[in-house]
């Protein structure tokens, strides 16, 4: 199972909320700073404007009439009293060119405060003759008070005679600005709360589909390709969902194709006639098909629990992995070996991954026992045929030479030589005929003239044909079958006759003088049985299984003396099998032999559909 390697951290939802909040905070802060600055400037400007207008339009004009401000202080004080009632917000001082307070709206109190006034502003107005201003704080009873100082030069005939100094209390304005700030902060907090709520709701529209895609992807990782993601919008997330569905469909299709290819391959491997074994570099068997398991005599469990070397050593030790790797160093290697009575051909080679590095060795094991047998049989067959032909040819040649080159022979001797030559030629003729017959049977070139007949008359004909030679040889032929029986079979009459005659002639050949041969026939279990039993020499038990092989003869000399070719039973077997039947031979040495021919009974009338 895949390990979850996600780093735990803020969820996307929280990230979106955080980004929203940060943006809203920055936006409100910028707006706040801007607005507060403007507000502050507006209030200060309006205070400054009002005071300037009041001072310049009023007291400044009247003070311009005095050449000596200090000298007219009483008059000026009464003017100030009249024009500027004492206020908490603004304190007004008329200061002469000697920096002395001449009059004030605080009356005599004002004269003592010169030290608390901003002398820089006063001097600026006095020396430069321009209005000057400054801001600051003064320490009140409880707290420091924000103030604005304004100084206007008093002119008499272009000469600056003094200064009108106004000190305005800015507490009110500052309070207003502070209040505004508070309102702003509250608004900002409210906005942030709303942003968090909205952020949560909005982020849901993004995170829910993403979560769905993630869940479905996790399902896919576990091999579940059944569910689709619902596409609710056409935006990027909608496209992601759509793309995910596409991906899922493609993947599931590809996997389906892969698994069908895999099962195809597995089926091919499973039913392959050859064994296939794949071994990795560590010596473990990655794959072995059923044929390979059968040859190696292992179960599926053994493949997991045992290494290849442990398994192969029972079959052939020098096929261990190390040896295989060495032998196929420069390409495919092959060898043949025999083990446990079977012959095997193996081919093996290294197999590599796409980068070219060795993954292991792949090996094909073929059980070639049958093929080997066939090849051996073919070789034997050729040797047998040559031998069988050579013997009569040698005889014919030597007798002919004697007849041609020898001294004059009597007619009788010459005749006997010629009769030997004739019989050897007959033997060769029989042999060649039998061989041609076998070849036609092998190559399915034999023409069959099958028709439905009663087996009994056929057997009677056979008995009749061989009766004479049996009598001559002093063998007793007994027909046990009921002459009135009707055993229906569909056969090529001549060929089946050939089979029966061959078995009967064998029975005569391999039975001693005075021997007895029984012929029986009956129908049983939809089969026609023909049983020919003799009490002759029999066949040793170890040889019985070979009597149907070509050229096999228990006693070659006897068979040859009797004119046998060793092909009779082989031909008989092929003819009977061509009819869908079988032939069996049971024998006991010295006791006799029983040959049974089984032929399928002819279909009954109803079965043939010709009622």
Both tokens assigned to 321: 């992995």
* Smaller CB separation from ligand ADP, 118 or 534: 534
Least Å distance between CB 523 and ligand ADP?
Answer: 24
Checking DSSP bridges between strand 275-280 and strand 101-104, what pairing results, if any?
Answer: unpaired
Element containing residue 593 per DSSP (H, E): strand 592-600
Residue 536 CB, shortest distance to ligand ADP, in Å, is: 5
Task: Compute the least distance from the CB of residue 597 to ligand ADP, in Å.
Answer: 13
Of the candidates 558, 553, 556, 514, the one whose C-alpha atom is nearest the C-alpha of residue 536 is 514
Q: Rank residues 163 and 570 by Cβ distance to ligand ADP and give the closer one.
A: 570
Beta strands in 353-393 (DSSP E): 358-367
Q: Are 137 and 144 in contact (CB under 8 A)?
A: yes
Q: Sign of torsion, CA 46 49 52 54?
A: negative
Binding mask 581-610 for ligand ADP (x = CB under 6 A): ------------x-----------------
Residue closer to ligand ADP, measured from CB, 209 or 566? 566
The 388-427 contact track toward ligand ADP, x by CB under 6 A, reads ----------------------------------------
What sign for the dihedral angle of Cα 387, 392, 398, 401?
A: negative
* Calpha distance 99→117 (Å, rounded): 10
User: Interface mask (CB under 6 A) for ligand ADP, residues 493-532, using x and -?
Assistant: ---------x---xx--x----------------------
Binders of ligand ADP among 358-377, rule CB under 6 A?
A: none
CB of 596 to ligand ADP, least distance (A): 12
Rounded Cα gap, residues 541 and 539, in angstroms: 6
Instruction: Identify the sign of the CA torsion 351, 354, 357, 359.
Output: negative
- Smallest distance from ligand ADP to CB 441, Å: 14
Give least dist CB 507 to ligand ADP, A. Answer: 5
Number of residues engaging ligand ADP in binding (CB under 6 A):
23
**Which residues, in sequence order, are CB contacts of 165 under 8 Å at separation 6+?**
92, 93, 94, 95, 117, 121, 122, 125, 149, 150, 151
Q: Kindly tell me which of 13 and 553 has the beta carbon lying closer to ligand ADP.
A: 553
Least Å from the CB of residue 435 to ligand ADP:
13
Nearer to ligand ADP, 184 or 552 (CB): 552
Smallest separation (angstroms) from ligand ADP to the CB of 546: 8
Q: What is d(CA 302, CA 311) in angstroms, rounded to the nearest whole number? A: 8
Residue 241 binds to ligand ADP (criterion: CB under 6 A)? no
**Identity of the residue, 280 or 555, whose beta carbon is nearer to ligand ADP in the bound complex:** 555
Which is nearer to ligand ADP, 244 or 552 (by Cβ)? 552
CB-nearer residue toward ligand ADP: 188 or 431: 431
Q: List the one residue out of 578, 571, 586, 580 whose CA is nearest residue 598.
A: 580
Nearest to ligand ADP of 340, 563 (CB atom): 563
- In three-state form (DSSP H/G/I as H, E/B as E, the rest C), the secondary structure along 462-521 is HHHHHHHHHHHCCCEEEECCCCCCCCEEEEEHHHHHHHHHHHHHHHHHCCCCCCEEEEEE
Strand 333-339 vs strand 476-479: parallel, antiparallel, or unpaired?
Answer: unpaired
Least Cβ distance, residue 429 to ligand ADP (angstroms): 14
Position of minimal CB gap to ligand ADP: 564
Stretch of 164-172, 297-305, 329-337, 533-541 lying at the interface with ligand ADP (CB under 6 A): 533-541
Find the shortest distance in angstroms from Cβ 591 to ligand ADP. 10
Long-range contacts, 333-338 (Cβ 8 Å, 24+): 336/368
**Residues 447-452: contacts with CB under 8 Å, at least 24 apart:** 448/492, 448/495, 448/578, 449/492, 449/493, 449/494, 450/490, 450/491, 450/492, 450/579, 451/490, 451/491, 451/493, 452/488, 452/489, 452/490, 452/602
Query: What mask of x and - would describe binding to ligand ADP in positions 536 to 575, judged by CB under 6 A?
Result: xxxx-------x----xxxx---x----xxxxxxx-----
Nearer CB in complex with ligand ADP: 65/439? 439
CA angle 225, 231, 235 (to 5 degrees): 130
Query: In the complex, what is the shortest distance from the CB of residue 402 to ligand ADP, in angstroms, rounded to a whole number?
Result: 29
Q: Nearer to ligand ADP by C-beta: 148 or 462?
A: 462
Summarize as ranges the residues that interact with ligand ADP (CB under 6 A).
Answer: 502, 506-507, 510, 534, 536-539, 547, 552-555, 559, 564-570, 593
């Amino acid at each position: 199972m895949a390990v979850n390697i996600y780093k735990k951290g803020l969820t996307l939802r929280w990230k979106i909320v955080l980004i929203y909040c940060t943006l809203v905070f920055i936006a409100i802060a910028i707006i706040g700073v801007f607005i507060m600055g403007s507000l502050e400037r507006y209030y200060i400007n309006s205070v400054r404007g009002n005071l300037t207008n009041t001072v310049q339009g009023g007291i400044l004009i009247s003070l311009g009439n005095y050449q000596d401000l200090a000298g007219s202080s009483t008059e000026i004080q009464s003017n100030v009293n009249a024009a500027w009632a004492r206020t908490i917000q603004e304190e007004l001082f008329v200061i002469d060119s000697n920096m002395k307070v001449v009059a004030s709206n605080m009356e005599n109190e004002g004269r003592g405060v010169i030290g608390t006034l901003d002398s820089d502003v006063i001097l600026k107005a006095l020396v430069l003759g321009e209005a000057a201003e400054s801001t600051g704080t003064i320490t009140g009873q409880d707290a420091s008070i924000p103030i604005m100082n304004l100084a206007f030069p008093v002119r008499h005939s272009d000469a600056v005679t003094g200064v009108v100094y106004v000190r305005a209390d800015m507490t009110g304005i500052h309070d207003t600005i502070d209040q505004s700030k508070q309102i702003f902060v509250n608004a900002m907090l409210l906005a942030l709360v709303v942003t968090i709520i909205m952020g949560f709701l909005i982020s849901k529209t993004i995170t829910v589909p993403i979560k769905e895609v993630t869940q479905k992807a996790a399902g896919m990782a576990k091999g579940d390709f059944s569910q689709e993601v619902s596409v609710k919008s056409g935006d990027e997330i909608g496209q992601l969902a759509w793309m995910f569905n596409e991906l899922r469909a493609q993947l599931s299709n590809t996997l389906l194709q892969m698994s069908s290819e895999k099962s195809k391959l597995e089926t091919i491997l499973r039913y392959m006639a050859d064994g296939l074994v794949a071994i990795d570099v560590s010596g473990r068997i990655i794959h072995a098909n059923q044929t390979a398991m059968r040859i190696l005599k292992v179960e599926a469990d053994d493949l997991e629990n045992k290494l290849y070397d442990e398994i192969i050593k029972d079959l052939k030790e020098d096929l261990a992995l190390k040896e295989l790797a060495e032998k196929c160093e420069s390409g495919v290697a092959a060898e043949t070996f025999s083990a446990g009575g079977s012959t095997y051909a193996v081919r093996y080679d290294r197999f590599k991954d796409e980068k070219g590095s060795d993954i292991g060795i792949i090996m094909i094991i073929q059980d070639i026992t049958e093929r080997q047998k066939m090849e051996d049989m073919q070789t034997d067959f050729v040797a047998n045929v040559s031998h069988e032909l050579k013997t009569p040819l040698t005889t014919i040649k030597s007798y002919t030479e004697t007849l041609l080159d020898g001294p004059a022979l009597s007619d009788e001797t010459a005749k006997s030589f010629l009769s030997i030559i004739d019989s050897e030629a007959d033997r060769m003729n029989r042999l060649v005929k039998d061989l041609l017959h076998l070849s036609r049977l092998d190559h399915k070139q034999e023409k069959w003239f099958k028709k439905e007949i009663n087996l009994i008359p056929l057997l009677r004909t056979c008995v009749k044909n061989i009766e004479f030679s049996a009598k001559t040889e002093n063998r007793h032929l007994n027909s046990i079958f009921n002459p009135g029986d009707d055993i229906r079979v569909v056969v090529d009459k001549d060929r089946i006759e050939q089979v029966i005659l061959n078995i009967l002639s064998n029975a005569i050949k391999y039975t001693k003088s005075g021997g007895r041969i029984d012929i029986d026939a009956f129908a049983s279990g939809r089969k026609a049985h023909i049983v020919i039993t003799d009490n002759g020499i029999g066949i040793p038990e170890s040889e019985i299984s070979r009597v149907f092989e070509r050229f096999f003869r228990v006693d070659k000399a006897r068979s040859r003396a009797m004119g046998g070719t060793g092909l009779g039973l082989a031909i008989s077997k092929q003819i009977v099998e061509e009819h869908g039947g079988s032939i069996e031979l049971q024998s006991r040495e010295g006791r006799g032999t029983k040959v049974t021919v089984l032929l399928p009974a002819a279909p009954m009338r109803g079965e043939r559909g010709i009622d």
